[in-house]
A and B are shown apart, each in its own frame.
Chain A
Amino acid sequence: MSGLKLAIAAVAVLGLAACSNKPWNDDLNGAGGAGGAGAGAGAGALDPASPAYFRQSVGDRVLFAVDQHTLSPAAQATLQGQARWLAQNADYAVTIEGHADEQGTREYNLGLGAKRANAAREYLISQGIAGGRIKVLSYGKERPLEICSDETCYSKNRRAVTVLAGGLTG
């Protein structure tokens, strides 16, 4: 039910779902990522209550420094926006997916991704979002968004992505 809602929204607004058969969720807005020029241009047309608006205009992800899980001021600002959106769109639950870059061993990176996702979760809770709406999950280094082996890619891969799901409806 909740997954279906997300899928329908993606098809209707972005028309990208058919291109994306990947099992993880954070590439629906394309490789350019949140905040890119294309996303900004289209944002005006988006329904502010739509998942696409959340991803593109609010920003669905926060980035981290090497081997860190502390939230930068920019990350906190993004999460404040997410919290406002989630307060206004109370039907949505979220899963925050934590990721690491490839410069680390596999299982350590699972733990690190979990810390990152949890840091984002704790921040949303501090902004008034109920903890019961937020699950966390880590992919470690298993799902890089960018595939080069230098800092320009690594910095985008060290992320926590807030993925919307329904689930509180009715």
Chain B
Amino acid sequence: MRNILAALLIGASALAGAGAAAAQTGPLRIEIDQGVIEPLPYAVPDFVPETPAAAEYAAEIARVIASDLSGTGLFREVPASAHISKVAAFDGPVKFSDWKAVNAQALITGAVSVTGNGLTVRFRGYDVFAEKELETALQFTGTTDGWRRMAHKVADAIYSEITGESGYFDSRVVYVSESGPKNDRRKRLAVMDYDGANVQYLTNSASIVLAPRFSPTGDRVLYTSYESGFPQIHVLDVGQVQRKVLSSGDGTMSFAPRFAPDGRTIVYSQTQGGNTDLFSMDINTGANTRLTSAPSIETAPSFSPDGSQIVFESDRSGSQQLYVMPAGGGEARRISFGEGRYGTPVWSPRGDMVAFTKQNKGRFHIGVMRTDGSEERLLTASFLDEGPTWAPNGRVIMFTRESQGSSGRALLYSVDITGRNLKPVKTPDGASDPSWSPLQK
């Protein structure tokens, strides 16, 4: 999985057109911020197997690409049953008229070859009506068990070329897998691909685990565990599945840990004498610093991507609201002023927005606002939505939705920051507290 190399394949034609194409706005362009979007129709015929062992991957890779693109709500697949042409040879000429006839505005073709356990995927994207190739011609080389990642990388390249946004498909989500009834719920950490594939469990369910968060490079996970009987902060190396306890102190609760962008500093809540405040810690030295000292509950911190500020929630005004303060502590500025209560703020990876949970009139919402609190927009409404996490490109939010009543169950959902494309994320069991990784390298 780690040894995937991306290499520019077609030098001449892609590079020659680069300058001109960058300046023009071609017909194949989705502006995501426009109002209602008519999904862009595309075709992705089965990739061409170029070695016998590639046959089992060639069709599957095309299916994962289609699932990624159509899953955004921005693209609509023209199904294979409607295709007129077959793509039998990757380097053969494209019969644009056949794709125009089925109104596929974009066409993605590819070829797969397998040597030993090595897998190579080549692909091209076409603007069908302009009859020209998109500047996405790439080749990914990896191992056969990493085939889904290569499909996600192809989809990321196509998405990125057509939307102008960076992709988010080659990413993972760490979350809390839940089983058992509401009054005997078992929780364990799990990690999966963003689309729910490749679930791997990272802890057993002997003790409660809560709110995992990926490190800035996705190699480690911070979370809260009741393993000692009291909630304490743990860090886990995802590759090695090695754990370490970062906080201790019998009778002291530490929870809500999040990484700073430096991957070495964390901010978290600690409760002393019933009072919860924010602290930071250098996880290499263990040295910690108090950031707030108020009799109210200060928790759910999140660093700005440049590491200079922390957004957090506090009920110092009498109800939960959002505040921003310098990363080293100091005066906090309230940013939420709407009706209701605001919690679980998460700074967007682009730095321009904060996602949050809002409670108002007995309903829960996931929303976004500018970092100064302006332009608040609620994206969802339900009995219990909470805990947003951002896709690496800042376009999509995943969160926990819990259903009502004695059979109530938590599941993961995702929604575009425009409020469109609300949908469940497949998990084998109940699931809560997602944290989205950065785009994988």
Contact = CB atoms under 8 A, between A and B. Distances in A.
Contacts of B362: 103
Interface stretch (B85-93, B113-121, B205-213, B327-335): B205-213
Contacts of B256: 107, 110
Nearest to B400: A106
A98 to B, nearest CB: 8
Contacts of B211: 106-107
A119 B273 CA distance: 9
A119 B274 contact: yes
A139 B405 CA distance: 20
A103 B433 CA distance: 16
A118 interface: yes
Contacts of B402: 102
A135 B383 CA distance: 34
Contacts of B433: 106
B184 A108 contact: no
Nearest to B274: A118
Interface residues of B, number: 47
Given A146-B183, A147-B183, A107 B344 contact: yes
Interface in A60-113: 67, 69, 102-108, 110-112
A117 B343 contact: no
B274 A142 contact: no
B341 to A, nearest CB: 8
Interface residues of A, number: 34
A105 B344 contact: yes
Contact of A108 (B182, B183, B313): B313
Given A102-B402, A110-B299, A111-B297, A137 B408 contact: no
B297 A23 contact: no
B109 interface: no
B359 interface: yes
B199 interface: no
Contacts of B226: 23
A114 B253 contact: yes
B428 interface: no
A115 B183 CA distance: 22
A148 interface: yes
A117 B252 CA distance: 13
B97 interface: no
B177 interface: no
A110 B253 contact: yes
A22 B180 CA distance: 12
Contacts of B250: 135
A11 B433 CA distance: 37
A138 B207 CA distance: 14
A67 B384 CA distance: 16
Interface in B163-188: 181-185
A145 interface: yes
A160 B208 CA distance: 19
A147 B231 CA distance: 23
A23 B207 contact: yes
A139 to B, nearest CB: 8
Interface string A130-170: 00000111110011111111000000000000000000000
B183 A137 contact: no
A121 interface: yes
Given A107-B344, A110-B231, A142-B210, A117 B274 contact: yes
Interface in B241-270: 250-251, 253, 255-256, 269
A119 B275 CA distance: 10
Given A106-B210, A112-B297, A144 B182 contact: yes
B408 A147 contact: yes
Contacts of B404: 149
B386 A111 contact: no
Contacts of B183: 143-147
A105 to B, nearest CB: 4
B81 interface: no
Nearest to A122: B274
Contacts of A110: 231, 253, 255-256, 269, 271, 276, 299
Nearest to B210: A106
A54 to B, nearest CB: 20
A109 B271 CA distance: 12
A3 to B, nearest CB: 10
A108 B408 contact: no
A79 B344 CA distance: 34
A67 B211 CA distance: 21
Contacts of A147: 181-183, 405-406, 408
A146 B275 CA distance: 26
B357 interface: yes
15 contacts: A103-B359, A106-B211, A107-B255, A107-B300, A110-B256, A111-B271, A114-B271, A114-B276, A115-B276, A121-B274, A137-B230, A144-B183, A146-B183, A147-B181, A149-B408
Given A111-B299, A119-B274, 8 more contacts: A105-B300, A108-B299, A108-B320, A114-B274, A114-B275, A115-B297, A137-B230, A138-B271
